[in-house]
């Protein structure tokens, strides 16, 4: 079945006749008549009863019209999607995120984004304070969180959910021994996320939970500082897996108690609904989401 024939048939019906459809389509009336006739021949059914004075749909023609109209609409929508993607996005896109997320999740991705969309200019604002996207004029926020985000008028898209793992340097483990069970961590130096933090809550693969209190060797509320301290051999640290991946692969760090995690962290992309429809913003969202799928 020819899609163009469906389109001509729908136009003929909606225009009330072949002559009116021909004028709307900019083609000869004879072409409209011929295409509709060939459509009917292919179907083996009369769709339109036409005389010199009347133009009416048959019963089967009315049923066929509903489906033909739906096919034409879907075809036009599909074409529109392709045409929108062919228009090169351009303009400024403002992103806000926390400092660790910028360092460990966006620092490698944003240069690739700039290369893929040379007319898009990203302005990244890394801060650990709360940012109101709408009031402060941001297009996108990338937020990492441990609990579900509260309901809001923002569109949420989940980028990733990753475990928080324990790692230490090979040198540290060589000198202090490798923990075999969570309770062994009480005899090890810990690198904690704040001066108020004193313990780790761990969960095993079977769902068992254990709380352990390591010896506090150092505390910092900045993930990169803790990562560097672990690489330097100061102790064991709990960090999201993506933060440690490059150093584990380079063997600067080793995973400790690989069957245990210290919870999980979710990273979510948020955007005001209307801003998310802008071509440049849409391109950035799609690029970041594709990167998350690939990871």
pLDDT in tens, 78-131: 776 677 666 778 889 999 999 999 999 999 999 999 999 999 999 999 998 888
70 in the same domain as 202 = no
Residue recorded with tokens 């460990």: 104
Q: Band of the pLDDT at 254, cuts 50, 70, 90?
A: very high
CA distance 197 to 191: 10
Q: Band of the pLDDT at 293, cuts 50, 70, 90?
A: low
Domain holding 50, by residue range, is: 3-86
188 in the same domain as 53 = no
118 in the same domain as 56 = no
221 in the same domain as 121 = yes
Residue 184, pLDDT > 60, answer yes
Q: What is the CATH number of the domain that holds 80?
A: 1.10.10.10
104 in the same domain as 69 = no
| Residue finishing a domain among 50, 68, 86 | 86
- Which pLDDT tens digit goes with each residue over 19-60? 888 998 899 999 999 999 999 999 999 999 887 777 889 999
162 in the same domain as 40 = no
| pLDDT, mean over the chain | 90
Q: What is the CATH number of the domain that holds 255?
A: 3.40.190.290
CA distance 91 to 251: 41
103 in the same domain as 81 = no
CA distance 116 to 120: 9
72 in the same domain as 139 = no
Q: For the whole model, what pTM was predicted?
A: 0.64
- Higher-confidence position of 194 and 135: 194
Single out the residue of 274, 291, 269 nearest to residue 95, CA to CA. 269
Per-residue model confidence (pLDDT) at position 136? 85
């Amino acid at each position: 079945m020819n899609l163009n024939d469906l389109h001509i048939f729908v136009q003929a019906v909606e225009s009330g006749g072949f002559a009116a459809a021909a004028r709307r389509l900019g083609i000869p009336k004879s072409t409209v008549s011929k295409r509709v006739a060939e459509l009917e021949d292919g179907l083996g059914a009369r769709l339109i009863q036409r005389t010199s004075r009347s133009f009416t749909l048959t019963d089967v023609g009315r049923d066929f019209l509903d489906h033909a109209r739906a096919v034409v609409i879907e075809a036009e929508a599909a074409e529109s999607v392709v045409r929108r993607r062919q228009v090169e996005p351009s303009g400024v896109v403002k992103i806000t995120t926390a400092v660790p997320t910028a360092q460990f999740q966006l620092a490698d991705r944003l240069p690739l984004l700039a290369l893929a969309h040379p007319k898009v200019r990203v302005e990244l604002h890394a801060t650990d304070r709360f940012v109101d996207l709408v009031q402060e004029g941001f297009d996108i926020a990338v937020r990492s969180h441990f609990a579900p985000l509260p309901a809001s008028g923002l569109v949420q898209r989940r980028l990733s959910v990753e475990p928080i793992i324990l790692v230490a340097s090979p040198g540290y483990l060589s000198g202090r021994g490798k923990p075999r069970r969570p309770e062994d961590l009480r005899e090890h130096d810990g690198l904690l996320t704040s001066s108020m933090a004193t313990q780790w809550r761990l969960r095993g693969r079977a769902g068992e939970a254990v709380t352990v209190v390591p010896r506090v060797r150092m505390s910092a509320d900045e993930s990169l500082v803790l990562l560097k301290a672990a690489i330097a051999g100061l102790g064991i640290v709990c960090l999201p897996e993506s933060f440690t991946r490059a150093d584990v692969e380079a063997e600067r760090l080793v995973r400790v108690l690989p069957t245990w995690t210290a919870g999980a962290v979710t990273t979510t992309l948020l955007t005001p609904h209307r801003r998310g429809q802008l071509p440049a913003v849409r391109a950035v969202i799609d690029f970041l989401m594709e990167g998350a799928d690939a990871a």
